[in-house]
């Protein structure tokens, strides 16, 4: 029984590690920009800040979510509140805007 628990734990960790590697590698970004699969980071950052005028960008990440490339932005607004804004990396459409908890 103990061996079975160890096997299940190993499988769970392996699957979790695979999900954590869903980020787009930095060396892939120039080709994605060139092909038009993603828009410029400047435009994406502007779209995120438009949701929270005056906010400061704390972190960004390009990832595969919602079945597409998603630009994830973490912001801090002028009141010190943190926000997570997810944008379609190709169109800059806001997919999610939620307060970071």
For the chain, the domains span 23-99
Residues facing residue 83 across a β-bridge: 75, 99
More confident residue, 53 or 19: 53
R_g of the chain, CA atoms, integer Å: 17
pTM for the full predicted model: 0.76
Question: In this structure, are residues 89 and 37 in contact, taking their beta carbons and an 8 Å threshold?
Answer: yes
Query: Right CATH number for 23-99 from 3.30.465.10, 3.40.50.1860, 3.30.365.10, 3.10.450.40?
Result: 3.10.450.40
- Write the pLDDT tens digit of every residue in 35-44: 999 999 999 9
More confident residue, 11 or 90: 90
**Nearest one of 58, 29, 28, 53 to 41, comparing CA atoms:** 29
Judge whether 48 and 70 are in contact, CB under 8 Å. no
Asked if residues 95 and 84 have their Cβ atoms less than 8 Å apart, the reply is no
Q: What's the chain's average pLDDT?
A: 84
22 backbone dihedrals φ, ψ, rounded to 5°: -75, -10
Confidence (pLDDT) at 101: 81
**Percent residues over pLDDT 90 in the chain:** 72
Q: With a cut of 50, say whether residue 10 has pLDDT above it.
A: no
Interior/surface letters 40-64, b for 16+ CB within 10 angstroms, e for the rest: eeeebbebbbeebeebeeeebebee
CA angle (85 as vertex; 83, 89 as ends), nearest 5 = 160
Higher pLDDT, 95 or 8: 95
**45 or 1: which leads in pLDDT:** 45
Write the pLDDT tens digit of every residue in 50-92: 999 999 999 999 999 888 999 999 999 999 999 999 999 999 9
């Amino acid at each position: 029984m103990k061996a079975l628990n160890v096997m299940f734990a190993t499988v769970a960790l392996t699957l979790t590690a695979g999900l954590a590697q869903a980020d787009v590698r930095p060396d892939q970004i120039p080709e994605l920009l060139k092909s038009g699969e993603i828009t410029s980071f400047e435009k994406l950052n502007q779209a995120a800040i438009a949701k929270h005028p005056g906010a400061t960008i704390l972190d960004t990440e390009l990832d595969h979510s919602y079945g597409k490339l998603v630009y994830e932005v973490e912001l801090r607004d002028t009141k010190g509140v943190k926000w997570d804004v997810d944008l379609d990396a190709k169109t800059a459409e806001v997919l999610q805007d939620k307060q970071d908890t």
